[in-house]
Amino acid sequence: MDSLKLPKDVCLGALRVTLTGSTEAWIENYKGILEYTEHMIILQGKTCQACFEGSRLSIDYYTNEDMKISGCINCVRYL
């Protein structure tokens, strides 16, 4: 895969998370939301789950391709 220079997130179906400080996160390559509360958002990826913990969490937009989470993010965990 390295020799072919293929993007890993596409080939492996890995979650792609972009964090801007601790207030914004852009997520791609997910399958859906498993749980959404003000303090925790759990997303289902193809191979794993990601958990965003924090306070005043909200979803700015949510489409089939990507989503944006804003609020005070304290921790990103893979389950």
Partner 1 sequence: MIGILRYLRGYLRIKVWGFSPERFMNLCSNKEILLWDIARDGDAYYMNISLRGFYRLRSIVKKTGTRVAILQRYGLPFFIPTLVARKVFLAGFVLAVAFWLWSSHYIWDIELAGNYQITQDAFDDFLEQENITVGLKKSELDIEELEKEIRRAFPQVTWTCAMLSGTRLRIEIKENDVPMPEEQAQQGCTDLVAEFEGTVVSMIVRSGVPQVAIGDTVEPGTILVAGMVPIYNDDKTVKGYLPVTSDADIMVEHIRTEEFTLPFEYVKKEYTGRTEVRHFLRGWEKEWRLPQERPFLVYDSVIRENRPLLFEKLSIPVYWGDYTYREYLDVEYRYSPEEAQELLNEKLNTFLTSLEEKGVQILEKDVRIDTSGEEWLMYGEFLVQEPAGRSVSAEIPDTGENEVNE
Q: Which stretch binds partner 1 (CB under 8 A): 3-11, 15-23, 52-60?
A: 52-60
Q: Given 3-state DSSP classes, what are the helix, strand and coil percentages for the chain, each rounded to the nearest 5?
A: 5, 65, 30
Task: Please give the size of the binding site for partner 1, defined by CB under 8 A.
Answer: 15
Which residue among 6, 46, 60, 74 contacts partner 1 (CB under 8 A)?
60
> Is the CB of 8 or the CB of 74 nearer to partner 1?
74
Total residue count of the chain as it appears in this document? 79
Instruction: Assess 14 for contact with partner 1 (CB under 8 A).
Output: no
Structure tokens at 67: 């989503």
33 lies in the binding site for partner 1 (CB under 8 A): yes
- Do 42 and 3 form a contact (C-beta atoms < 8 A)? no
Are the CB atoms for 65 and 28 separated by under 8 Å? yes
Residues interacting with partner 1, by CB under 8 A?
A: 31-38, 58-64
